Amino acid sequence: MTTSNTALITGASGGIGLELARIHAKKGGNLVLVARSKDKLEALKTELEAQYEIQVTVIVEDLSKEESAQRIFQQTEALQLKISTLINNAGFGGHGLFHERELVVEQAMMQLNMLTLTALTHLYLTGMVERNQGRILNVSSTASFMPGPLQAVYYATKAYVTSFTQAIAEEVKEYNVTATVLCPGAVATGFVTAGNLEGVDVWKNAKSPESVALCGYQAMEKGTLVAFNQSSLKFMLNWIIPLMPRKLVLSISRQTMEKKASA
């Protein structure tokens, strides 16, 4: 199975990743779906292959493990797949004071959000450059534009993703390869429960994963450097936050992550 329009999507079993897979399939593109949940991936494969004339490959992998990126690459190479679109969507967060959280969990977060993303980008970017064609979409967050008390490591990992994506975009532009970073605000996905974020007000007005995925995919198609799903957040982060005193930014950032006591 080879094609010039195959997208590899991590975290494809739900949320933004699942919706990105549906968008790509609707456009007639083949898919490599990566996540930990085999059942969910197989169900999505069945859905998309039945609805569209495409081929879907499922790779079950825990991306918080150190060698996961290499294993994924070896599988796609063995299948002779040429990945023209890489979408690094998988990631997780967590809530609480850094010194009270388990270090092993924070390290797994760093592995998944940064190191595996970097490894996958390096492994597949080489082929894109050689073929003089390719697109990369890395899913970051508006959290990447400021420090995040009560989500210290998560915010820091997303700052890395936003910075890294922009840098490689500049490096590979001459090879007809684009890199886009998607920076959404709160999104209504399983991220909230997985990250112990229930009770944090910012998720009361969370946007749908469908709308965020569409925003990101369209931005990737255009070769947009940084994509926001909300214009108000874009204005705030680009023009207001940078001018505010740093301690005030930290105070506001912490307030947005404080949990409200139940009535």
Residue with tokens 């229930």: 198
Residue 154 designated active-site: yes
Dist CA 125 CA 178 (whole Å) = 10
Distance CA 203, CA 8 (A): 28
203 vs 151: CA distance, rounded Å: 14
Active-site residue identified among 52, 124, 154, 155: 154
- CA–CA dist 154, 106 (Å, integer): 8
The distance in angstroms from the start CA to the end CA of the chain is: 56
Stated as kind and residue range, the H or E segment containing 71 is helix 68-78
Distance of CA 82 to the CA centre of its chain: 21
Contacts of 136 (CB under 8 A, 6+ apart): 85, 86, 87, 88, 121, 124, 125, 128, 165, 168, 177, 178, 179, 180, 220
CA distance 220 to 16: 14
Active site positions, annotated: 154
